[in-house]
Amino acid sequence: MQFLLDHIASILVSGAVLLLVIATNLNAQRAAIEETVAYAAKVQTLNLADFLEDDLLLVGDGTDDTIETIETNDDGQTTEFSFWREDEMGVDMLVSYTLEEGDVVDVDGEKVQLYRLFRTEDDAAAGGGSSTLQAFSITMLDESGSTTGSVESARLLRVRAINVYGMGDADDMDLFRSYWGITVRPPALDS
Amino acid sequence: MSQTLMAFLAMMIAALAAINQYTSQMQAYDEAYRTEFELMANALVVEQLEVIDMTTDWDDLEDWDGDEIDAEFEVHNGDIEFTLAISVQFVDDDGTPSESETSNKEVAIQATSDRYTVALVTLTRVISE
């Protein structure tokens, strides 16, 4: 006890320095994890984006028909989008994207519904999409860029997606949202 | 006296290290945030380029020159606003700006946001007669 009282000032100073160093170190670790998670989310989003962009440009490629189905739920999410295109053998093929509900995560008391995007070719699974989508929509636009419900007047396809990643513990989670959008002009929709 | 100075020095160094770490963390957040805005702006610019390309005769492309359009990108809890500034100029076959009339016009759209002083995205498309 006498020792502590004799050195109270140095103990307080070293304690404060130690706390600062530990806090800084923990914060740096957390920041590094967050940056990694954000980078992973961005890479996954951009990979999905590249694939979707290339795929949607082939709507109606080599076929008489173009867009077969486009269905949207009450939340504005596109639950099904299917279109015709030729496969590598020159045979007509129906490509479908379906959005299905996945996990529900709790973020600060808010329930966040996640979705998974499935892709099929003639009803056979052909490449899956992200399973961490919070939103996904495909909208048909006419020549003026206005939304249209008619396939005949559709010239552009506007795609929007939000990919999310959770960070932190389950009971103290932050969500990183990665936004992506593109508008493609499939050549077959011009004719 | 020297012990007091040493203690003060130790606290200063620890505090500077903490400030430095927080600053770099904020810069990383800013960069990640900006890339999100760039992606959103890119989507809007591409769409506007397609609309101009589809709806405007080549002879009338100059009508867009100098136009500024407010565009919104929908996010989960609202919209984020961008301004699209459009410019049109003649370019030669190599894409170099030309003072005289050529058979190529370059449509450039620059997206800006109130949150950033520097333009987020600029895309161009050359449309030939």
- Cβ–Cβ contact A23 with B under 8 A: yes
**A60 is a domain residue:** yes
Q: How many domains does chain A have?
A: 1
Contacts of B70 (CB under 8 A, 6+ apart): B81, B82, B83, B84
Domain residue limits at A87: 33-190
- Tokens 């999905």 belong to residue: A48
| A20/B25 Cβ within 8 A | no
On chain A, the residues whose CB falls within 8 A of the CB of B3 are 10
Amino acid letter, residue A47? N
- Cβ–Cβ contact A35 with B under 8 A: yes
Contact criterion met (CB below 8 Å) for A83 and A66: yes
**A91 is a domain residue:** yes
**A45 is a domain residue:** yes
The pLDDT tens digits for A156-180 are 999 999 888 877 666 667 778 888 9
Q: Show the low-confidence residues of chain A (pLDDT under 50).
A: none
| A182/B25 Cβ within 8 A | no
Candidate from A42, A178, A181 with C-beta closest to B73: A181
**A3 is a domain residue:** no
- Cβ–Cβ contact B10 with A under 8 A: yes
| A144/B51 Cβ within 8 A | yes
> B65 vs B53, B78, B80, B126, CA distance in Å?
14, 30, 24, 14
Tell me the Ramachandran region of residue B61: left when phi exceeds 0, alpha when psi lies from -120 to 50, beta otherwise: alpha
Say what the pLDDT of residue A170 is: 63
- Cβ–Cβ contact B16 with A under 8 A: no
On chain A, the residues whose CB falls within 8 A of the CB of B24 are 31
The pLDDT tens digits for A3-33 are 777 788 888 888 888 998 899 889 888 888 8
The pLDDT tens digits for B24-78 are 888 988 888 898 899 999 999 999 999 999 999 999 999 999 999 999 998 767 7
On chain B, the residues whose CB falls within 8 A of the CB of A16 are 11, 14
Nearest residue in chain A measured CA to CA from B32: A38
E strand spans, chain A: 67-72, 78-86, 92-107, 110-121, 124-128, 133-141, 156-167, 174-184
In CATH, what number is assigned to the domain containing residue B93?
3.30.1300.30
**A50 is a domain residue:** yes
Say what the pLDDT of residue A85 is: 95
Q: How many domains does chain B have?
A: 1
DSSP B97: B
Percent residues over pLDDT 70 in chain B: 98
Say what the pLDDT of residue A128 is: 66
Give the whole-angstrom CA distance, residue B120 versus residue B94.
Answer: 25
**A2 is a domain residue:** no
Smallest CA–CA separation between B64 and chain A, in Å? 14
- Cβ–Cβ contact B69 with A under 8 A: no
Domain residue limits at B29: 2-128
ipTM, two decimals: 0.82
Say what the pLDDT of residue B2 is: 78
